[in-house]
Chain A
Amino acid sequence: MTTAQETKTVLAAEHDVPIPYMQRTRDYYQALGFSPYRWAHFVDAPFTPLRTPLARTRVALITTAAPFQPELGDQGPGAPYNAAAKFYKVYSLPSESVPDLRISHVGYDRVHTTAADFNTYLPLARLKEAVAAGRIGSLGPRLFGTPTNRSQRVTIEADNPELLRRCREDGVDAAVLVPS
């Protein structure tokens, strides 16, 4: 008689969970003496099923990365947090281009990664491959950048309506949003 193989159950390490960013950030800023940040929160979420098969869908890419501006200090791989490189208005760039977008203006994990490869936060090249392979119908003519650093009020009242307006102008049915 043959015996069937059995896969054993192995537990993961206690700390091997998604990082509790909200708790760590609260503890950190409290230790620094600042008042706690309040993250946006809703009970439910909107839902719009994809209307057409993805192979016929026009998709927009939306990023929080910032256009490189040489005069604004170090924005290269591993650069220290660079508040001068922040931006405060929605921007657009041609999807056909290979834009130079950086993330020195946000709090990425500078201990364990360096942002040396922009494809880790901007999947534009991979999206173009997906279009070429017929997986996606097309990319919108523009990719959009949206600021992360204003108040939630400004995001809701100014930036989001502007993003929607531009998505509609470009006739996109879907969007891939990539926070950095």
Chain B
Amino acid sequence: MSLAARHLEANGISTVIMGCAKDIVEHCGVPRFLFSDFPLGNSAGRPFDTASQAQTLELALELLERAPAARTTMQSPLRWSPDAAWKLDYLDMTKLTPDKLAERRKEFDVVKAVAKTKREAS
């Protein structure tokens, strides 16, 4: 998505990305980025919380209007939960035993094969 924003922007279309993966988007480098410190999948606000979604969009629109230069990141002030412990769980290696790892590897091979078949058919 970062590559798409860059391409549109380079060709005269102003862009803003709404996202949750701060390091990945900033590593690429994009014109404008509204970062929500939420679990992946919630780039546009909290589930079943229209006010949070409207606030998230409004911040993105303000960035679109007012960012002074490229690589402008704004962080939404919204919190996913008062306790930040959820941030420790994503791909938490300490919870993976060697058996679990082997299982995950097998699952990943299956997923890769499915994706490959689909890609080649498309």
Contact = CB atoms under 8 A, between A and B. Distances in A.
Contacts of B10: 46, 48
Contacts of B23: 18-23
B33 to A, nearest CB: 10
Contact of A177 (B18, B87, B114): B18
A179 B21 contact: yes
A46 B53 CA distance: 28
Interface string A28-49: 1001111000011111111111
Interface string B65-93: 10001110000000010001111111101
Interface stretch (A3-11, A78-86, A92-100): A78-86
Contacts of A176: 15-16, 18, 57, 60, 64
Given A45-B70, A84-B118, A173 B14 contact: yes
A126 B118 contact: no
Contacts of B9: 45-48
Give the size range of A's interface with the partner: 35 or more
B101 to A, nearest CB: 6
A176 B18 CA distance: 7
A143 interface: no
Contact of B44 (A60, A136, A178): A178
A47 B31 contact: yes
A24 B22 CA distance: 13
Contact of B41 (A51, A113, A152): A113
Interface string B50-61: 100110111011
Interface of A: 12-13, 15-25, 27-28, 31-34, 39-51, 53-54, 60, 62, 64, 81, 83-84, 86-89, 103, 107-109, 111-117, 119-123, 125-127, 129-130, 135-136, 146, 148-150, 152, 155-156, 159-161, 163-164, 167, 172-180
Given A15-B88, A47-B9, A148-B1, 9 more contacts: A15-B87, A45-B29, A47-B70, A83-B112, A89-B122, A114-B47, A123-B18, A126-B56, A163-B4
